[in-house]
A and B are shown apart, each in its own frame.
Chain A
C-alpha cells in the first residue's frame, strides 16, 4: 500500500534520514520505533508532504507522492494524526471534526461518518459544542484521531499517540487504534513507547539516527535481545 524507498531528508545541513526504506501492506499495523531524534516524525512528515524530500521515492497505492502537496495526499486517502495532538484549540469539537472532513465533498458520507465517530467516541458527542482547548489530554487525543478519521483515510499515520497521557488513557487510545485497524484502516504508528507499539503491531522497523537498523515481525522484534536492550529496558 505504502512503499518508501531510499528516502533522504535534510534539515539545512543536517542529514536527517539516510536511505530509509520500508513498506506498509493493506490492513496492517506497522510501527516505526526508535529513540528521540531517530527520524520517526521526520519520516511521517516527509510522507505527508509537509517537508521536502531530497532523494528517494514514496509510493502510495501506486502513485508517486514525492511531488504532491499535502492536501492532494490527504485527498488520496493518507492522513496524519500529528504529534502532540495539534487540535484547533479555539474551535469547537464539531468544527475540528469539520476541518478533518475538509477535503471531502460527499455530504452524506460525511454525515454518516459523524454518527460513526460519535458511537466510537461518545465523550466527543457530549462535548460537541465545547471549545476544543478545554478538553482533557485524553479527550484531545481522541479528537485528534477522530478528526483524522473524518477524512476517511485508507492509511493513517499516527505520531506518538501516547505522548503525555496517563497509562490508563494510553491503553484506551491503543484499544481505539486496534479497533480502527479492525474496521479496515491501515495504520503506520510511530511510538517511543516501543513495548506497547510492538504488542499491537504486525510488523516493525527500528530507526536509529536516520537509518533503518532492524526490521521484522513485531513479536519477534519484541523478543530479540538487541531491541530489548535498547528500547524495552532490558
Chain B
C-alpha cells in the first residue's frame, strides 16, 4: 500500500516540477534561447539514455545512434509531410522504424561476441546518412528537408510546446528505464555486461536480452529524432554524421557507463558547454575530446563514479521524508528521476 503511496507522491512531484518548468518557459522567465538549448539538451539526453542502455548496461558498444536518430527524424517528417499523418502517431512511427532497423542490425551481429556491433553500427550510421543524401524525393537530398510542420505555428507557444514535449518524453523514458533496470529483466541485461558466459550458464537467454536491449535502445534513439524533426523544422543528412554519434557516446561515458543520472547530467552539461564554446567555432570540436581524455585519466567511471555510481532516486528521498524505513526491495519498484 505505502509503496503505491510513494509512487503517487513520486508522480505528483515529477508532474509539479514539469508544470513549473513549463510555466517558467511560457512566462519567458526562462528565456527563449535558454529553453531552446534545454530542448536540444533534452533530445540529446533521450538518445544518450538509449545508447547507455545498450552500451552502458548491456555492455555492447554501439557507434551509430545518430543513424537511429536520423531514421526517427526522417520517418516522422515523411509521415507528416507525404502521408498527412498527425504528428503524434508519426513520431511513434519514426521511433518504431528506428526500432525495426535496430532489430534487423542486431539479429545477425548480436549473436557474435566482441566488437562486431560497434563496427556494424558505425557502418550503419554512415550508410543511413549517404542514403538520405541520395533520396532527394523523400529527404530533400543534400540540401536538406525544409518546412517540416512544427508542434504549433503559434509564435508564442512554439518553444513552450517543444520544450514540454521533449521533457515529458524524457521523464517517461527515465521512469521506464529505471523501472526496467530494477526488474529481473533489467538485472539479466546487466548480468550480460558483467559476465556473458556466467549469464548464459545461469540460464539467461543472452541473445534474446541483447536483441531486446538493442531494439529498445534504437527505439529511444528514434524517439529522439522524432522529437527533433518537428522541433527544428529542418533536417539535413549532415546533422547525423559520425561526429553526432560520438557526441552521444561522450555523454554516456562522461556521465558514467551504466548510470542514468549521469547521462542526464552530462547530456545537459555538455549541450550547454557546446553553446558556451560556440565563439571558438570549429575549435570547440577539439575541446570535447580533451575533456573526455581528462575525465578518462582522472575519473574513468564518469561523473557519477564520484558518488559511488549510485542513481538519484526520487523514491528514496520521498520515503525518507515520509519516514518510511528504506526497504530497498519494495521501494525500488518505482522510481522517478528527472
Contact = CB atoms under 8 A, between A and B. Distances in A.
Interface in A193-229: none
A98 B190 CA distance: 13
Number of contact residues on A: which range applies?
Answer: 20 to 34
Contacts of A79: 201-203
A50 interface: yes
B101 to A, nearest CB: 26
Contacts, number: 69
A163 to B, nearest CB: 15
A88 B191 contact: yes
Contact of B190 (A86, A88, A100): A88
B198 A70 contact: no
Given A87-B198, A88-B198, A90-B194, A74 B187 contact: no
Main secondary structure of the interface of B (DSSP, over half): helix
A79 B198 CA distance: 11
Contacts of A102: 184, 188, 202-204
B203 A70 contact: yes
A11 to B, nearest CB: 14
A71 interface: yes
Interface string A130-161: 00000000000000000110010000000000
Contact of B205 (A71, A129, A147): A71
A91 B197 contact: no
Nearest to A133: B194
Interface in B179-200: 184, 187-188, 190-191, 194-195, 197-200
B205 A95 contact: no
A46 to B, nearest CB: 13
Interface string B199-216: 111111110000000000
A57 interface: no
Contacts of A34: none
Interface string A82-99: 100011111100010011
A99 B188 contact: yes
A90 B190 contact: yes
Contacts of A69: 205
Given A98-B184, A102-B184, A129-B328, A70 B191 contact: no
A151 B197 contact: no
B191 A91 contact: yes
Contacts of A73: 203
Contacts of A89: 194-195
Contact of A86 (B187, B195, B205): B195
Given A90-B190, A91-B187, A50 B202 contact: no
B301 to A, nearest CB: 11
A128 B135 CA distance: 57
A212 to B, nearest CB: 24
Contacts of B258: 90
A185 interface: no
A70 B203 CA distance: 6
Contacts of A147: 202
B307 to A, nearest CB: 15
Interface of B: 184, 187-188, 190-191, 194-195, 197-206, 258, 328
Rank and list the top 3 A-B pairs by shortest CB-CB distance, nearest first.
A74-B203, A86-B198, A88-B194
26 contacts: A50-B200, A70-B206, A73-B203, A74-B202, A75-B203, A79-B201, A79-B202, A80-B201, A82-B198, A82-B201, A86-B195, A88-B190, A88-B199, A89-B194, A90-B258, A99-B187, A99-B188, A99-B191, A99-B199, A99-B204, A102-B188, A102-B203, A103-B202, A129-B328, A147-B202, A148-B202
Given A48-B201, A50-B197, A80-B201, 9 more contacts: A70-B200, A70-B201, A79-B201, A88-B191, A88-B195, A90-B190, A99-B199, A103-B202, A151-B203
